[in-house]
Structure 1
Amino acid sequence: MEDAGIFAADPMTRLRAIMRALRDPETGCPWDIEQDFASIAPYTIEEAYEVADAIERQDWPELRAELGDLLLQVVYHAQMAEDAGHFGFDEIARGIGDKMVARHPHVFGTESRDKSAAQQTRDWERVKETERARRGAGGVLDDVALGLPALMRAVKLQKRAARVGFDWPDAGQVLDKIAEETRELVEARDSLPAEKVAEEFGDLLFVMANLARHLDVDPEAALRGANAKFTRRFRFIEAALADAGRRPQDSDLAEMDALWNAAKAAERKA
């Protein structure tokens, strides 16, 4: 039977009705009916990254569309949870609303707003610690999500450990550790099996993430910037070669490196 909510004026009511119709076991879409949490999770992650990409490019019409795609993911998971009898969308919305009120006593309670952003961050973490204890998450690292991108998870693990004093006091010691891990990676490359090389490479990346934290740099954003810069400069190489009727595969490293340096010089002048 057609869900009347599909014609509702309220956009959220309509979207939820559309999802119910797609998941209807008798009249819904066969693909949507077959999905479960695990199969949809990769799409959820992908949509979150596409939101970040639209923000990075400051493409506001695209951001509106991508936020819609991400919202659909929440509605999709909520419908699957409701189908399985776990919880529904209203419980999700109520839960996050309650959490936001509890975590902002300086806005919704009696605490003073007259404090720095740093103090508010410390207060936020204190409330989260209380919530973790109530859930029985006893270990310091217990609830750092496994599904996070590895670089982001490394920073979160390090931040959590730092709160209990397990941290280098300054960036200089982290730089010393990077030099040490680099030497170990070189040694592994020259004399150890591939799995040990991968392990040492992972150690180096982990310490690089720690350096980003000490420098107050978002490593994910920094790497996205480096990716964009590489893409921009390589396209400069492609364009320069195309002007001569050639392609990168028709060139060599020395010529492309010279064009790369030309791209850098052009950026400095811009």
Structure 2
Amino acid sequence: MARLRDPDDGCPWDVTQTFQTIAPYTIEEAYEVADAIERNDMDDLKDELGDLLLQVVFHSQMAAEAGSFNLQDVIAGICDKMTRRHPHIFGDVDAKEAAQVTQNWETIKAQERSTHSDGSALAGVAKALPALLRAQKIQKRAARTGFDWPDVDGAKSKIFEELDEISSANTQDERADEVGDLLFAAVNLARFYDVDAENALKNATAKFDRRFRAMEDMAGTNFPALSLDEKEALWSRAKEQEIKKV
């Protein structure tokens, strides 16, 4: 990467890149790693992990050129962090259960955040995260401070409240704002049921994708011309077929 970034003899494309221009590729490669894992394709996973590692090297090289840090600093930093956050392995803390380990981890992370300029309990939740995932993390952080519904009934009633507010909205901006509140409330309800909202929506979308394609296969090229009732009937058949396979 140092050679690719050489200002005299390097690659013209690599030389002109910045943290900002490379960041989208970093996110894309992380998703491709997750996709290979979901497909259980180990050869592809090996390849995608290499692509993701390249992103780490690329950012580290640009930082080294700026005199900020280098790749060794990145590796040393994560080693120090893992040591610090596993006192039950590298220290004298006793933690035999996974739940206790998780609690210790979050306590240590909170202590680390307290030393940063942003002292909020919400500090460090990346803005670039997928919206559902970020909402979930924000809600969990807020809940740890005691700002939470006492039980699931509060989270349920909030969804009905947001539905009413969507119906009462008078402008498109107001509707967009209220729909956002509804989605946020839905994530909160999922949290109470210990359901990962991001994965739940991903699975629901995949299920719709499978059933819609099954409808198209049953109808053939005539599918768009079918009435809504006929399409609903095909949907029911696709759903039944999927249940039978299970």
Identify the TM-score tier after normalising by the shorter chain: over 0.9
2: distance between equivalents of 1:69 and 1:252? 47
Instruction: State the 1:262 CA deviation.
Output: 0.6
Over the aligned positions, Cα root-mean-square deviation in angstroms equals: 1.3
> What are structure 2's unaligned runs of at least 5 residues?
none
Counterpart of 1:152 in structure 2 is: 133
Counterpart of 1:13 in structure 2 is: none
Amino acid at match of 2:199: A
Contact 2:166 2:179 in 1 (8 A): yes
Instruction: State the 1:247 CA deviation.
Output: 4.2
Instruction: State the 1:239 CA deviation.
Output: 1.2
Counterpart of 1:222 in structure 2 is: 200
> What are structure 1's unaligned runs of at least 5 residues?
1-18
Instruction: State the 1:175 CA deviation.
Output: 0.7
SS, match of residue 3 in structure 2: helix
Report the TM-score when normalising by structure 2.
0.95
Counterpart of 1:75 in structure 2 is: 57
- Stretch moving more, 122-131 or 134-143: 134-143
Counterpart of 1:112 in structure 2 is: 94
* Deviation sequence 1:34-76 (CA, Å, 0-9, x none): 1101111111111111111222222222222211111111111
Does 2:12 match 1:30?
yes
Amino acid at match of 1:262: R
Counterpart of 1:66 in structure 2 is: 48
Instruction: State the 1:225 CA deviation.
Output: 0.5
Counterpart of 1:130 in structure 2 is: 111
Counterpart of 1:168 in structure 2 is: 149
Report the TM-score when normalising by structure 1.
0.87
- Stretch moving more, 58-67 or 103-112: 58-67
2: distance between equivalents of 1:200 and 1:179? 12
Instruction: State the 1:123 CA deviation.
Output: 0.8
2: distance between equivalents of 1:164 and 1:127? 15
Contact 2:110 2:121 in 1 (8 A): no
* Deviation sequence 1:141-197 (CA, Å, 0-9, x none): 232221211111111111111011000122221011111111111221xxx111110
Counterpart of 2:235 in structure 1 is: 260
Counterpart of 1:16 in structure 2 is: none
Amino acid at match of 1:68: G
Q: How many residues align?
A: 245
Identity of aligned residues (%): 54
2: distance between equivalents of 1:122 and 1:41? 31
Amino acid at match of 1:164: T
2: distance between equivalents of 1:72 and 1:251? 49
